[in-house]
Amino acid sequence: MAHNLSVTGLAANYSQIPAAFEFYDSRFLNITGLAPKLEVLLENMTFRLRTKRANIFTDPITNQSTIKISKVSLSANPVTSEMINSTIPLPNGGVNHGNGILFCGQGTLNESGGLYQMSIESPYEAEQLVSGFYGREFNSLNDVVVHRDGSMWFTDPIYGSKQGIRPSPQLPNQVYRYDPATGNVRVVADGFGRPNGISFSPDEKTVYITDTAYTAGDGTTDPTKPSTIYAFDLTTLHGETFLTNRRVFAMADTGVPDGIKTDTNGNVYAGCGDGINVWSPGGVLLGKILIKNGAANFSFGRNGLMFIMNENKLWTAQLSPSVQGALLAEIDN
């Protein structure tokens, strides 16, 4: 049972902490600080991604078959959003890369997906970097992260086919590594039901990959299928990087762990069916930021600010100013 410090245990000292911050371990206090806040920033949109220079999000319009990209200005008062016309077919997860954003394009029934580099300035031009595995089209790319060596690691579940937006799968549910310097694309992990979110630990010695097979993609769920975060070690053999020592890191108790990220202390955060779940580097559930209808994805801002996205709202959570996302720290350094 959860122990919310606002009502049990250390309630006398921490009664000001809102009930939306649910404690399972006292170490969560190092993350929330003594005065965390949770607020709605925007409503009636669907958000996926934030960048360091602007706030860029993917935004499904009425259904899964149409996805637009929105640019949100936090400096405006009130906050404003601008819809971007992009050539990326059904954009999904993305990450800061170079002077723009590296997006996953899921593809459509008539157009292959892949990885796309998009400018964050008008006219928001996008270039496809890779479209398939040596002649076989990817299924529907979901999330991507970039290693310090420049390689791009991404997940490719068959959700697109299950949702009717992509043809029948031509490849298994797998995780890939793409080297833009050589054009080499390799399968680095398989055996997933639905590989989804992906993130590195701060030292990039570990990669975390979520398996969200609990949700099949056709509207059904199966509680016997994974809603699990797996951890792998990055190992160098013969001059190439492999994923070894696959192990269960954690399982989400509500819904599935969708987007996943780490902070500079190695704590692991995932958007789940009840909000943001936070685990220690050792896989212990520390606490949750409770969001009605759950959280699809999120990102770290500066000074302990977090942006949380679900089906129709963009939230901000103010955590301890010492909390820093590993990806943002890499950019700032």
Nearest C-alpha neighbor of 289 from the set 305, 304, 277:
277
Bridge partner residues of 289 (DSSP): 21, 276
Mean pLDDT rounded to a whole number for the chain:
87
pLDDT band, very low/low/confident/very high, at 45 (cuts 50, 70, 90): low
**pLDDT above 50: residue 272:** yes
Higher pLDDT, 137 or 86: 137
The whole-number pLDDT of residue 71 equals 66
**pLDDT above 80: residue 8:** no
The whole-number pLDDT of residue 78 equals 60
Asked if 152 and 190 touch (Cβ cutoff 8 Å), the reply is no
Higher pLDDT, 42 or 217: 217
Give the model confidence (pLDDT) of 279-320 as tens digits. Answer: 999 999 999 999 999 998 899 999 999 999 887 788 999 999
Share of the chain above pLDDT 90, in %: 71
The whole-number pLDDT of residue 87 equals 82
How many Å apart are CA 125 and CA 235, to the nearest integer?
Answer: 36
The whole-number pLDDT of residue 317 equals 97
User: Model pTM?
Assistant: 0.89
Higher pLDDT, 123 or 40: 40
Residue range 11-332 in CATH 1.10.10.60: no
Q: Which two tokens stand for residue 90?
A: 């059904």
Q: Which two tokens stand for residue 318?
A: 């103010």
